[in-house]
Structure 1
Amino acid sequence: MSRFVPVSTPARLAATSLALLAVGCSSVDLGPRYDPPPVRAPQPLPPAPAPLPPIATPQPIPPAQPVPQPLPPIGTPAPLPPPPLQTPVDPTASPNPQAHLVTLTTRLDGASVMPPARSNATGQLDALYDSNTRLLRWKTSWSALSGPITAVQFHGPAEYGQTGPVTMVWPAPFGPTYEGRATLTPQQAVDLLDGRWYVNVFTAPYPSGELRGQLRVVH
């Protein structure tokens, strides 16, 4: 008595597929003109790329070492920088080309006369003295005099409020202004620059002087 062995469903499906494939292949007529395409052989694989060079690992840069500087010995002062160059000074050169010129001035009024004159007249004198040549030049103006001028004189040496001898008489004529010049003696120049000269203006109503002014240096 034969024994039935059950066949699994997947096995039966595989057997059925093989049978159908065999039947289909036997029914295909290739014919004498059938020229199947050539079989392409597999191409060899390209060579593997060369390995990359190893990446350099950055190395830490050692810190810069300070260069030691020699120190000066203890107690030795540091050297001073050289002094700046100075232009030699010429002792004969004058720092101011007009240093030899001296300016003087005075205001004329009756109150300065000795004794004082009761006059409303006024005047002004400005002078320039050259110490190189001892030349004195001056310019004077006056107004409101009580009468015509009879004389004008320089006096000295004398301080303010004092009287002194006549040192120079101005030549006439006299108008509302007057300009003059004269070369002084060395002593006269000393007295003038010391402020011991004064000018006196005389008129007929004031024979002792109607105007007076003490010269003083202003520059």
Structure 2
Amino acid sequence: MTTSILLVDDHAVVRTGLKLLINDIENMEVVGEASEGDEAIKMVEQLKPKVVLMDLSMPHGKDGLSATVEIKKRWPEVQILILTMHDDEEYLFRVIQAGASGCILKSALHNELIHAITVVAEGSAYLYPTATKKLMEDYLDKLQSGANVDTYSLLSEREKEVLTLIAKGFSNKEIAEKLIISVKTVENHKARIMEKLKLKTRPELVEYALKKGLLGYGI
């Protein structure tokens, strides 16, 4: 299945370079381009792309963060990968709060960009290595300070879907069919969920889901 991608960047030369790179990859296709946020929203409505590669800073029109919030509100199934030159913790948290599926630096190598697009297209989260390190450091700081950290917030939207389906008793194969992903991807999601939640067995996952009210009722 081909991954459809919308490019959003205020520089035409950047969009041209990205389009040439992405269209050269098997099973990836750039289906549209936009130069600012409002145009991007209209293009998403028309094209319903699988992934939006969104520039963070666009001086003319709606910026990338505002557009991301609007797109995720109206089309939550669309995955958004933020493209930015800012390796800054403040920007990172704003990107996550806006609902983006990931963030990658403009200085990243081509193969890293393609990998990031693949990851978010599957419904997982992608953060560039230094961003992951910063998030983990912040998480550990909160633990050490005794702050109440909600581990559920560490899960990506796809991981939350997988957790709910596991708790409802679906097998890995059934989950894969429902989410249109491979069984191996389901297994990888499950492994990451258990690692993030510090759980070791399926019953523990079910109990956790019940406590979070993911099945419609809690205990």
Tell me the TM-score normalised to structure 2 length: 0.18
Q: For the pair shown, which has the larger CA radius of gyration, 1 or 2?
A: 1
Larger fraction in helix? 2
Tell me the TM-score normalised to structure 1 length: 0.18
